[in-house]
Amino acid sequence: MEGQGRQCPFGVMAGYEQLGWQGQRRRCFLRAADQGTVGYVEYAYAKQNKMTYTLLQNRGGNFVSPNDKSFQAAAASADWKNAPGFYEILTDEPGKNSWPITGATFILMHKTQPDPAKAKEVLKFFEWAYKSGDAMALELDYIPMPDDVVALVQSAWKSQIKDSSGKSIW
């Protein structure tokens, strides 16, 4: 739990808040203060800050590096079709090249929408993001969803996102 454990031996604990350090930067710094510890931050943060990383052994017994290809391999191996609401934890996915600690970001929408026009605009934005956002995601050190998963999600919009009368919004 954050805020518990050893005190930093050189009195930095009070100083990081004055510097405005929050979230991952704060946790990274605190882990670095403990000799011999291992910390975990998201890939984008580690890559952008040129942090050291390790190879991890995946479910197939292979040692893989954290990178776009190993994250994409994990996402492609997941059973999205049978995951209720596309809720899939991408930990230890099968696949020779799958990174064993991968995660997806979820967007939640009510199945019954009180404002169908607003919901349709939201879905238009996500449609645009799926069609045009792959390059931007990669520039930000994230990966796009696999095309087959995008097709599943968009199909769910048609069948599950409705107005209060039960009419499909998409």
**Does a structural domain hold residue 121?**
yes
Q: Give the model's pLDDT for residue 16.
A: 39
- Residue 49: inside a domain, yes or no? no
pLDDT digits (tens, 9 = 90+) for 29-65: 555 556 666 667 788 888 888 888 889 999 999 999 9
Domain annotation covers residue 134: yes
- Does some domain include residue 153? yes
Cα separation, 91 vs 55, whole angstroms? 15
Domain that includes residue 76, residue range: 67-163
Answer yes or no: is 110 within a domain: yes
Give the tens place of pLDDT for each residue, 90-142: 899 999 999 999 988 888 999 999 999 999 999 999 999 999 999 999 999 99
The number of distinct structural domains making up the chain is 1
Q: If you write DSSP's letter for every residue of 55-116 in order, what string do you get?
A: -EE-TTS-EE--SHHHHHHHHHHS-GGGSGGG---EES-SSTT--SEE--------SEES-H
Residue 106 is encoded by which pair of tokens?
Answer: 């979820």
